[in-house]
Amino acid sequence: MITELETGGIPVLLAPSTGPMHAGLVFRVGTVDEPLSRRGITHLVEHLALHSIGVADHHFNGATGPEFTFFHMRGAETDVVGFLNGVCAALRDLPMQRLAVEKEILRTEENSRGDGAGEVLALWRHGAVGYGAGTYPEWGLRGITADDLRGWTARYFNRQNAALWITGSEVPAGLDLDLPDGDRQPVPAPSSALPVRPAWFPGHSNIVAWDAVVPRGAAATVFAGVLERVLFRSLRQESGLSYTVKSDCSTRADGTTVVTALADALPEKQGAVLGAFVDVLAGMRLGLVDEADVTAVVNRRAAEVIEAAENGGRLPGQVFSLLTGQPVQKSDDEFLAGLRAVSRADVVAIAAAATADGLLMTPGRHRADWAGFTAAPTRSTDVVSGKSHQQLGHRSVDEPKVLLTIGADGVTIGTDDDPATVRFDQCVLLLAWPDGARRLIGPDAIQVHFEPTLFRNGTAITAEIDAGLDPALRVVMPVRNPESVPVPRKAPPPPSLGARARWIARNGRLVYSLIFNAVMTLVVGVLAIAGTVALFRDGEFAFGLGAGAVFLGLAGVFGLSLRNTIREIRRS
């Protein structure tokens, strides 16, 4: 049973447990709140606050997630009190002398991490803001100042934006959570980069992944468990297509749950895994859900809830609900009753909602249009009007020409078939390299990358881009290795007379074919026109039309052969 209390104006959830005390101080702030130009600021606050704790023999840590940041410790009551009081003291006066060192530590930590399927799905679903911003590197760390940190802690790390959980019989004596006053911060509404759902995009070659946003509740949890059982049975046990098959679900503050599932695939089995994966989703949507699977998942989940209730494991999730205005389920029996009430029909209803909202990551170059999924957008639907600049460099006839267009309201780069546009008033980040390179990122995660070395008047273009953007969006990047700075490809020098003679000697067949097809195309074309005109003058209309068609057909054959010969000569 969870009891709700208050200490020092901060709400507290308390629950009995076996073992040492475990307590956590939670703040309603996470990566969803960070502008991309300040990405990493919450994580930096967490590190600075923990630095003052020093080295201890008991377990303590901090964590920064999408919606919440918390500091927790398990140990003796006096140690827990000292830890929580120390965190609050550090938040009131962060050790700014550690700023440069902690930034380097965070850069090292980030370098050891990799993007999982969940992060990739979040980026494609939400773009470069909110729940998608957390998938980007912590670029904003470079420009964060002491004043930025003071403003961030005042806004988010205050008494009204905090809550506490404690496993034990009472709030320990001596606890003094001395935090400044402030305001409770709402969670930003989820953004969307998907105009149509269900959608798909190409991803890693060795994995199929999928997620969906469904209504929060016990039925969503059970659906995720049943989905994993069915996928495991289909892809591993019955067909042997995958080794790793799993699903997960995470609740959000807006009353929804994100369900994620994935299965690995060998290169030669990508298509089979994708097909089987989609078949499972379609089957569950159509009601092919076994009652035994629902019962098994409910029983397993109920056992997990009972175990968590014994050691206070339910407290963090309920504190998160408390901070975001979601219902707090204080009674374990009430929670279990809701779980055991989930029926097969409830799971099928969630499956229908999930498949309608689904985002599918296909392996390699496989598509999913055939399964009713729409390709997620990879290019902009509009372009800006303004002055265009042609990218420098020698290019073959078959290679597209890249244009950079700068207008009064934004920048477009790319080809007519593949444009990327970022509007100045919608840009969420500008990465600026000292050599003049610029990368603009829009809220839909579409990027415009400009290299001044590849355009005439590159320095002036850089200045024009900078002038259109808010300086607060600018993050200065480190100096690049000169070898990594691109340069225009130069046209090859014209071949010498001797080289041309040797080429003709080696490729006599191509030269003969070029001359022959050129002459025949011209001759047959002239004959077609002249003969048709002469026959028409003699009144032989039907014969003239037939003869003209034959000659024009022959001219087309020779012309096609001429085109192929020219292409072969260019490749040689």
The DSSP-derived string for 509-536 is: HHHHHHHHHHHHHHHHHHHHHHHHHHHH
Mean pLDDT of 488-515: 68
According to the model, what pLDDT value does residue 370 have? 95
Mean pLDDT of 17-46: 93
According to the model, what pLDDT value does residue 416 have? 85
> What one-letter code names the amino acid at 552?
L
Of 330, 350, 375, the position where a domain reaches its end is 375
Which of 249 and 525 is assigned the larger pLDDT?
A: 249
Residue 325 banded pLDDT, cuts 50, 70, 90: confident
Are 157 and 215 members of one domain? no
pLDDT at 543 over 90: no
Are 226 and 321 members of one domain? yes
Mean pLDDT of 161-177: 90
Q: Which of 40-54, 464-478, 514-528 has the lowest mean pLDDT?
A: 514-528
Of 460, 484, 508, the position where a domain reaches its end is 484
Give residue-wise pLDDT tens across range 77-115.
998 999 999 999 999 999 999 999 999 999 888 877 767
Distance between alpha carbon 280 and the CA centroid of its chain, in Å? 25
pLDDT at 399 over 60: no
| Residue 421, domain CATH | 2.30.29
| Residue 259, domain CATH | 3.30.830.10
Are 521 and 434 members of one domain? no
pLDDT at 240 over 90: yes
Residue 4 banded pLDDT, cuts 50, 70, 90: confident
pLDDT at 504 over 90: no
**Residue range of the domain that includes 53:** 3-167
Q: Is residue 188 part of a domain?
A: no
Residue 508 banded pLDDT, cuts 50, 70, 90: confident
- Judging by beta carbons within 10 Å of its beta carbon (0-12, 13-18, 19+), is residue 459 exposed, middle or buried? exposed
pLDDT at 375 over 60: yes
Are 336 and 246 members of one domain? yes
Q: Over the chain, what is the mean pLDDT? A: 88
Q: Which of 7-21, 253-267, 420-434 has the lowest mean pLDDT?
A: 7-21
Are 332 and 371 members of one domain? yes
Are 477 and 551 members of one domain? no
**Count of CB atoms within 10 A of residue 537's CB?**
9
Strands, E, within 28-161: which ranges? 59-64, 69-75
Give residue-wise pLDDT tens across range 264-283.
999 999 999 999 999 999 99
Are 352 and 450 members of one domain? no
C-alpha–C-alpha distance, residues 548 and 432, integer Å: 63
According to the model, what pLDDT value does residue 227 have? 97
Q: Is residue 185 part of a domain?
A: no
Distance between alpha carbon 104 and the CA centroid of its chain, in Å? 25
C-alpha–C-alpha distance, residues 279 and 268, integer Å: 19
According to the model, what pLDDT value does residue 556 have? 74
Give residue-wise pLDDT tens across range 551-565.
677 777 777 777 777
Are 209 and 357 members of one domain? yes
pLDDT at 57 over 60: no
Are 516 and 546 members of one domain? yes
Residue 59 banded pLDDT, cuts 50, 70, 90: confident
Are 508 and 554 members of one domain? yes
Of 455, 484, 513, the position where a domain reaches its end is 484
CB 257 within 8 A of CB 251: yes
According to the model, what pLDDT value does residue 542 have? 60
Lateral strand order in the sheet of 162-167 = 3-7, 10-15, 162-167, 21-27, 69-75, 59-64
Residue 331 banded pLDDT, cuts 50, 70, 90: confident
According to the model, what pLDDT value does residue 565 have? 73
According to the model, what pLDDT value does residue 261 have? 97
The H or E element that residue 345 is part of is helix 344-357
According to the model, what pLDDT value does residue 509 have? 72
According to the model, what pLDDT value does residue 198 have? 97
**φ/ψ of residue 37, rounded to 5:** -75, -10
Mean pLDDT of 483-500: 73
- 14-18, 87-91, 564-568: which is most confident: 87-91
Which of 174 and 566 is assigned the larger pLDDT?
A: 174
**φ/ψ of residue 39, rounded to 5:** -60, 125
Mean pLDDT of 203-208: 90
According to the model, what pLDDT value does residue 435 have? 94
The alpha carbon dihedral of 203, 204, 205, 206 has a sign of negative
Q: Is residue 42 part of a domain?
A: yes
Q: Is residue 179 part of a domain?
A: no
pLDDT at 162 over 70: yes
According to the model, what pLDDT value does residue 287 have? 95
Give residue-wise pLDDT tens across range 311-320.
777 888 888 9
Q: What share of the chain is helix, strand, coil (3-state, %, to 5)?
A: 50, 20, 35
> What one-letter code names the amino acid at 44?
L
Mean pLDDT of 148-169: 94
Q: Is residue 152 part of a domain?
A: yes
Are 151 and 214 members of one domain? no
* Tally of structural domains, the chain: 4
According to the model, what pLDDT value does residue 449 have? 95
Which of 497 and 323 is assigned the larger pLDDT?
A: 323
Q: Is residue 442 part of a domain?
A: yes
Give the DSSP letter of residue 238: I
Q: Is residue 494 part of a domain?
A: no
Q: Is residue 495 part of a domain?
A: no
Are 467 and 543 members of one domain? no
